Structure 1
Amino acid sequence: MNKHSLTQDSTSSEALDSVSIYEYSGGIIGPSKEMLGPVKNGGKIQAGTPPGCWGPMITPAFQGGHEVTLPVAVEGADVGDAVALTIDRITVTSLATSSGVMEFVEGRYHGDPFVAKYCSSCGTEQPASHVEGIGDDAIHCDVCGAEVSAFRFSNGYVIVLDEKNKLSLTVNQEIANRLAGKAPEISRLPEASAQHSILSLARADMPGVAARMIPFLGNIGTTPSRDLPDSHNCGDFGKFLIDAPHKYGLSKEELYAAKTDGHMDTNSVREGAILICPVKIKGAGIYLGDMHAQQGNGEIAGHATDVSGETELSVEVIKGLELEGPILLQNIEDLPPMAVPLNAEEREKIKILAQHWGQDHIEKSGPVTFIGTGENLNEATEIGLRRASKATGIPYEEILNRATINGSIEISRLPGAVRVTFLCPLDILDRMGIGHLVRQKYNL
């Protein structure tokens, strides 16, 4: 593996054409984490990632809800720039996973069960733990031996995966029990992963459900400007940090200044898409994880099918593009219908319509999606709209009109992650420094 460390005060390491990463953050992402690389502007990052969510959730030592990679520095990326990540390849490696609707186990955490778990039997904070047997009671404290998980399924499933044919199927209790007996092997947990496999809980409430696989990354982006639990680098999960009774507690203003909204759970952040991320520390610190095998809009169950997987990204620095959160260039088939660029026949008919009414200007435009996260969907939507206005220079009320007649607001996650998509004038996208990406992506 090509690995160079980078401090915040020095970028003197020789930049690499490619950086491979199979090391993980332990649930925290921020300036205190070692940065690998740097990778060249225009270079590639390859990563193997373990599942997010349920595995870290049932592993008491974790102080975040995911297990993302250590960050990778990007040559020439300075605070106030942006970094464009083209997702060249996503491959699911897990053979099966488990997920479902969660319940908290009271008395086993301080304020937030994702961040501040403890053993209610011996009082050990974030204790080391191990798996004994299978089922809800499988996770045990290394210190005293007591069952220790802070989470339960209120309804859950085990699902087997066919990466080749992009299909999946939930299984019955007998099969779930069998898979639980070899959970790390079936999960394909990377060697450096520290989580317990959620397959060990063997919850199988809805066997026989067939579904397509459309894998994507639920948590990908740039390092926040202060240490945060990786699953809380966003407005909705992040709200649990506000005035929290643990060391990652902070004010809302501090959270919103620091976060980069890497945790989006946006199902169109998939192979072929381009994600343009804010740079809030020198070197940007690209990290990724929380791959999902599939998910509809909204992640309504709170969690989806988290899997191990392999990802390859291409990296490009956009100088001087100061962003508060990500911009996404979605695959054309993922765009809302109103934001799909007009085809050649439609453009010719628009010219005829313009001539009929004496309109001499027809805007040239391309689709962009601004991500907004907040404590609820209304706040997330307004944040996404205001980010669009600030980044483009288009008045807020005009953004409202554009998102209405040639765009859309779509839910990425409940309670508060949305996509604000609209067709934006190409001259504005050129001024932002991303016009070339939009033209290439949509063949404009």
Structure 2
Amino acid sequence: MAQHEIQQELSVDQYTLGLVGPDQEWAGAVADGGTIRTHTPPACWGPMITPEFRGGHEVTRPVRVENAEVGDAIALKIRDVEVTSVATSTGSMAEREDAFGDDPFVDHRCPECGTEWPESVVEGTGEDAIRCAECGANASSFGFEYGYTVAFDDDRTVGLTVGEEGADDLANDAEGAMALPDNSRQHPILLYKPSEIPGTLGHLRPFIGNVGTTPPIEMPDSHNAGDFGQFLIGAEHDWGLEDEDELAERTDGHMDINAVREGAVLICPVKVDGGGVYVGDLHANQGDGELSLHTTDVSGRTEIEVEVIKDLDIDGPVLLPNEEDLPHISKPYTDEEIETGRRLADQYGVDEVRETGPIQVIGSGATINEATENAFDRAGTLLDMTEGEVRARCTFTGGVEVGRLPGVVQLDMLAPMDRLEARGLAEHVRSQYDL
């Protein structure tokens, strides 16, 4: 990749065609301590119905971070997330089996003329609107099994599902309503105009569904996780993997964890020199687990401050969410609770009440159980603990939360501060929670 001048602030307006990895062109370089700004198009549904894409998302080109080397980590401090779309469509998916090979997100082909990753054009609206530019056939790999269209208020605080008339109006201004950035190459999902559950009001709270660092192997951006990545093992397309060992090269950027929002700090592994930070897949809202496998994809702006943490050799992300997003059991102790703990220590002959701080270790795998085991392994390595100690601390001062079914979790723990000091994380934890 070409070298770029290091900038204190870098704005990114170029996107990949559904891939992440070392072969992707750099968007530029940002200083250690600098700021990345993005305006990203929706991910999931738009790229899913656009057969030119090699993956299910449209994320930014990677950004090189000054001083970031393999074996380090990068703290992504999410300063701002702003939704620019005024509406979106989403729901649960139905696959069109004649429009792909092994994987409907990856190896698209026209069901009529057989062209791989065919260029496409839009003709009208509805689920047959995406047409092969070569032969005119419906070339999209996906439709809705059950879908709905949501319109947002001006302040993006609530969304309301609309009926057939509203969905049709939005479909006829799909690109404008979704605020697609100039360099986006997807077809907007509003074209499909689904209209189930009209009149349902939902709370909005935007977050970033796919954000992190570049893996050392090329892979579809939507599959950079241990659950979606399973579809790559044994696949015959260009990004097929042989086994779980190859999938272990992932960086788990595709988390769909709704706590990865404004105010959070996401600490990501560096597996290629420069880190290769990328951003995409903003959602207007989502319940834990993303039970439809998809949610309210939107265009939006982000502002992220980056800081390199030297020699923090982690396998996957560590999240420091906003304090209000922590479960009660994992919140920092109040002064009154600490004083009560000290009285108990005096009563029972305990030398000290150990200082702790909240962290969430991200795990992913084929199932929730396998994702949790992955998080146990990562937490044990990070904090130099046996699995027994990890399980004990996460039972007494934490737990496991589901980011996405079938297999992304957040392993909550109040971690001993001396262990965090040893790994260079204590300063970030203290700053995040004002400890």
Establish whether TM, by shorter chain, passes 0.5: yes
Alignment of 1:266-285 (within 5 A): 266-285=257-276
Q: Which residue pairs with 1:43 in the alignment?
A: 34
Deviations 1:270-290 (A, max 9, x none): 000000000000100000100
Q: Distance in 2 between matches of 1:103 and 1:215?
A: 26
Cα deviations across residues 161-212 of structure 1 (Å, max 9, x unaligned)? 1251511111111110011001000000000000000000001111111011
Aligned to 1:115: 106
Which runs of no fewer than 5 residues in structure 1 stay unpaired?
1-5
The answer to whether the 8 Å contact 2:159/2:201 transfers is yes
Q: 1:85 aligns with which of 76, 79, 87?
A: 76
SS in 2 for 1:323: coil
Q: Name 1:3's counterpart in structure 2.
A: none
- Residue 282 of structure 2 aligns with an amino acid whose one-letter code is M
What is the aligned partner in structure 2 of residue 373 from structure 1? Answer: 364
Cα 1:291/1:186, change in 2 over 3 Å: same
CA deviation string 1:262-305 (max 9, x = no partner): 00000000000000000000100000100000001100011000
Partner residue, 1:188? 179
Deviates more, 1:84-93 or 1:203-212: 203-212
Pair 1:330–1:196, CA change in 2 (3 A): same
SS of equivalent to 2:248: helix
Match of 2:278 in 1: 287
Contact 1:91 1:163 in 2 (8 A): no
Aligned equivalent of 2:307: 316
2:420 aligned with 1:429, yes or no? Answer: yes
- 8 A contact 1:69–1:288 mirrored in 2: yes
For residues 208 and 74 of structure 1, the distance between their equivalents in structure 2, rounded to whole angstroms, comes to 45
Q: Distance in 1 between matches of 2:107 and 2:416?
A: 46
Q: RMSD value over aligned CA atoms?
A: 1.0
Deviations 1:314-364 (A, max 9, x none): 000000001110000010010111100111111111111211222122110
The alignment-based identity, stated in percent, is: 49
How far, CA to CA, are the matches of 1:252 and 1:305 in structure 2? 32
- Please report how far the alpha carbon of residue 254 of structure 1 lies from its aligned counterpart in structure 2 after TM superposition: 4.4
1:15 is matched with 6
- Give the CA deviation at 1:429: 0.7
* Matched residue SS, 1:44: strand
Residue among 86, 89, 97 paired with 1:106:
97
Relative to structure 1, the CA distance from residue 148 to residue 165 in structure 2 (aligned partners, 3 Å threshold; closer, same or farther) is closer
* Amino acid corresponding to residue 42 of structure 1 in structure 2: G
- Secondary structure at 1:410's aligned position in 2? strand
Matched, 1:151 2:136: no
Matches within 5 A, 1:202-217: 202-217=193-208
Choose 322-331 or 130-139, whichever is displaced more: 130-139
Following superposition, the deviation at residue 430 of structure 1 comes to 1.1
Q: Distance in 1 between matches of 2:49 and 2:110?
A: 12
Matching residue of 1:336: 327
1:439 aligns with 2:430: yes
Q: Secondary structure at the match of 1:290?
A: strand
TM-score by length of 1: 0.97
Equivalence for 1:176? 167
The question of whether the paired residues in 1 share the 8 Å contact of 2:171 and 2:193 is answered with yes
- Residue in structure 2 matched with residue 394 of structure 1 by the alignment: 385
Cα pair 1:371 1:420 within 8 Å, conserved: yes
Q: Give the Cα–Cα distance (whole angstroms) in 2 for the partners of residues 241 and 355 of structure 1.
A: 56
1:248 to 224, 227, 239: 239
Using the alignment, how far apart are the partners of 2:260 and 2:180 within structure 1? 22
Shift of 1:36: 2.6
Which of 218, 221, 234 is equivalent to 2:212? 221
Whole-angstrom distance in 2 between the partners of 1:388 and 1:368: 10
Q: Distance in 1 between matches of 2:397 and 2:160?
A: 37
Q: Is the 8 A contact 2:78 2:263 kept in 1?
A: yes
- Residue identity matched to 1:224: P
Question: Take 1:257 and 1:149, find their aligned partners in 2: how far apart are those partners?
Answer: 31
Partners of 1:398 and 1:360 in 2: CA distance: 20
What is the distance in 1 between the residues matched to 2:322 and 2:257? 13
| Code of the aligned partner of 1:80 | G
Q: Which residue identity does 1:273 align to in structure 2? A: A
Is 1:263 equivalent to 2:263 in the alignment?
Answer: no
1:58 maps onto 2:49 in alignment: yes
Q: Which amino acid aligns with 1:377?
A: I
Which residue does the alignment assign to 1:415?
406
Is residue 90–residue 296 contact of structure 2 (8 Å, CA) maintained in 1? yes
- Assess if the C-alpha contact under 8 Å between 2:251 and 2:316 holds in 1: yes
Aligned length: 435
